[in-house]
Amino acid sequence: MGRPTDSQALPERTRPRASRRSGHGRVAARRLGLAQIGIGSRKFRAWPNINNCSRLRHMADNAQVLLIMSGSAEWNTWVQARELGFTADLSGADLSHARLDAALLAGADLSGANCFQGDFAGAELAGANLSETNLSAVDMRRANLSGANMFHANLSAADVSDADLSGANVSTADLSETRANRTNLRGANLTEVMGFNANLSGADLSGANLLGAKIATANLTDCVEDEHTIWPVKHQPAT
């Protein structure tokens, strides 16, 4: 049998079905908790149910950014309602000037984010990914950054005084003019950091690795070291 010509009617089972995309879109929206925000018209009038948005990951990311920019109070309330093991995905987000003191961000992905002049004082950032993040002039006093990945982050003029960076990876980060008074850096990886005029007075550097760090002009007065502290070659800390 030859192929049917354009003038011949196709059998019922081979006829193309009419598009029902708009209907499917409404069904998907309801399943994902997005029906109330007019996904079909792309007008976001209400907050989406982010917990059901795993199939629309890019929307979940945007929603998280919008929520966190409203402040740590609303953010923390939302995070505490998430399932155990939830971690925020804020990678590459613009969080400049954000007011996130005491924010719950343990394990969050903030890699490549712009947090310029943000307030993260007392924030919970243990195990967070802050690699290549712009933390310039950020207030992170008393923050918990233990085990955080801060590889190649920009911490210039930031304040991490009294913060906990024990076991953190701060390798190749820019610590120029960073204030790290009394900061816990026990076991931290500080290899090849740029520490021009950094203030590390009173910091605990027990077991820290500073091999290749550029800290000739850093203030290391009263810093704590032990036999496991690895200093740059020929460096003698001030005491």
3-state secondary structure (DSSP) of residue 36: helix
d(CA 224, CA 228): 11
Q: How far apart are the first and last CA of the chain?
A: 95
* pLDDT tens, residue by residue, 175-223: 999 999 999 999 999 999 999 999 999 999 999 999 999 999 999 999 9
* pLDDT tens, residue by residue, 119-170: 999 999 999 999 999 999 999 999 999 999 999 999 999 999 999 999 999 9
d(CA 170, CA 151): 5
- In the structure encoding, which two tokens stand for residue 237, read together? 């800390």
pTM over 0.85: no
Instruction: Give the start-to-end residue ranges of the domains of the chain.
Output: 20-52, 56-239
- To the question of domain 56-239 being in CATH 2.160.20.80, the answer is yes
Angle CA 233–236–239, to nearest 5: 155
